[in-house]
A and B are shown apart, each in its own frame.
Chain A
Amino acid sequence: MDMSKDLVAASATPLVLAILAEGDSYGYAIIKRVAELSGGHLQWTDGMLYPVLHRLERQGYVVAKWSASENGRRRKYYRITREGRAQLAAQREQWKAVDGTLRGIWMQACTV
């Protein structure tokens, strides 16, 4: 299934925030988690995750910290902030509303 670019872009923020809400993480692990969660339907170009993370950092929804990784190189870890959690909750409500609306009309289409 090829998903439209706009939809991928719009879902990036809640998805990244939701994954970080599970626990601190770093870029590569986030990408892996997305692939796992979506069953391969959400195909991100790996590099594009980083501008998203940096934007979230600027907006104060996540904080970043460089620490050592198991392979000896520095790695940038991201943690969700309180504002980030509030934003996640807000986005969740919005997505729920969209999801509910679409579900409603598609159910009707099935029953007619």
Chain B
Amino acid sequence: MHSMTTTFADQPLEEQIAQWRAYLRRRRAVHSPDVEELEGHLRDQLTALTASGLAADEAFLVAVKRMGNLDALSREFARAHSERLWKQLVVAPDVDAPASTSRTELLVVLSLAVAAGLAVKLPTLFGHHLNPDEDVNAFYIRNASLFAFPLLAIYFMWKRGLSAVSGLWLGLPFAAAAVFANVFPFHNRERLDNFPQGSDTQLLTVLHLPIALWLMAVGVAYVGGRWFASGRRMDFVRFSGELFIYYVLIALGGGVVTGFTVMLFSAIDTKAGWFIGGWLIPCGAAGAVIVGSWLVEAKQSVIENMAPVLTRLFTPLFTILLLGFLATMAWTGSPINVEREMLIGFDLLLAVVVGLVLYAASARDPQARPDFFDGLQLLLVVSALVVDVVALAAIAARISEFGFTPNRVAALGENLILLINLLWTAWLYASFLRRRGSFADLEKWQIGYLPVYAMWAALVVVVFPPLFGYR
């Protein structure tokens, strides 16, 4: 409202009204007949005020003030028409854009989703079959991120209006990913287990390639090529969290569809396994990435986002878990057992903690004063730090005893990266709680750290296999 009253001051009345109308139109809960009704009210008010002797611009200020805060107003409209919010999820057009744009978008999304589904079947033409009766094909797992992610990047390029030149730049990481996933002569590359049957470095590629591509290619497309605008980066973090939630929901629905497919076709003694394993699940999984992303984009800013809500729910639980773990370990004195699965498990745990901090930061008003939840976050970070140090010690002991393996080095690197992040996060949180620093510093730190994850993941994919002899 403040910006309105200042910027409107020197313009002719009609322009001021037009600008006010534009402000109002941006509210999704206020539809255009409502805008017309409210504008009529504003004009009646203006007529009355000018008739009583006010100058046009004074009258405008008074009339707008009396109309009330537009945020509060649109909230009331949303409450009176609660169904509007739900309809908007899928059908209602963006108020700024004409209806045809949203129909075009639906078409683009559906074609990209179908394309992603077909992309999964493309390798079949070159002899890589997805046979549900056999083990999972290593080729598909290595290339899993190359089916849907490029099409998702195309969707964002289209949505953000990126030029063809930046499209070519975005093609580079995908091309590189395709090369690194497929040219390395991994030890026994058709098998997906650990060395010596399969290849450790191939498993590492499978785990790290999606992370690298997500941050380096999809992220860049999402922020419209402006990776260094940190506000957009936080949006991408929010988007990733929301997409994850949507994807899980879609997967649950997909599970129901699969169950009924099996049930119905077995009722008429027809085998549907080839269709479910070869088409429904793989193509659906790829297409759901596109559809889920579109849903997140469409409902952005409409209702309360889910990821921050879940963060609030799980931060206390994880804090209790970590404290309980540390207390038990101190009590029983049993050391961490450094099995392969354990290493990955500890890295995942720390990643979840960093994620909790990140999503709490994404939802927080940086201006707000520290509260109880911030104290809890600090406790979570500190207990995760202690767990990390214990895990690092265990890995280091293992390395000094049995030497370097790709898994141990990867786990060590990831631990160090998360440790540095958590250390500095704890420091920033503490100074924020003591009112010595601002929350914005913490947000800036988390956002600035994102490329480190991308770089490390890329490093593991590109350097580790030759470094460790593809074993």
Contacts and interface: CB of A to CB of B under 8 A. Distances in A.
A binds B: yes
Interface of A: 26-28, 31, 45-48, 50-52, 54-55, 58, 66, 69, 71, 73-76
B68 interface: yes
A45 B66 contact: yes
Given A27-B41, A73-B40, A54 B66 contact: no
B37 A76 contact: yes
Contact of B76 (A51, A69, A73): A51
Given A28-B44, A47-B38, A58 B80 contact: yes
A19 B44 CA distance: 19
SS of A interface (majority): helix
Contacts of A52: 80
17 contacts: A26-B40, A27-B37, A45-B69, A45-B72, A46-B41, A47-B38, A47-B68, A47-B73, A48-B68, A48-B72, A48-B76, A51-B73, A58-B80, A58-B81, A66-B33, A71-B43, A73-B43
Interface residues of B, number: 23
B45 A54 contact: no
A45 B67 contact: yes
Given A73-B40, A74-B40, A51 B68 contact: no
B77 interface: yes
Given A27-B37, A71-B47, A54 B68 contact: no
Interface in B1-45: 33-34, 36-38, 40-41, 43-45
Contacts of B271: none
A75 B81 CA distance: 21
Given A51-B76, A54-B77, A74-B36, 18 more contacts: A26-B40, A27-B37, A27-B41, A45-B67, A45-B69, A45-B73, A46-B41, A46-B66, A47-B68, A48-B68, A48-B72, A48-B76, A50-B38, A52-B80, A73-B40, A75-B40, A76-B37, A76-B40
A27 B44 CA distance: 10
Interface string B37-77: 11011011101000000000000000000111110110011
B79 interface: yes
A45 B75 CA distance: 14
The 8 A-B residue pairs with the shortest CB-CB distance in the complex, in nearest-first order = A45-B68, A51-B76, A28-B44, A51-B80, A47-B68, A47-B73, A55-B80, A47-B67
Contacts, number: 62
A50 B68 CA distance: 12
Contacts of B77: 50-51, 54
Contacts of A46: 41, 45, 66-68
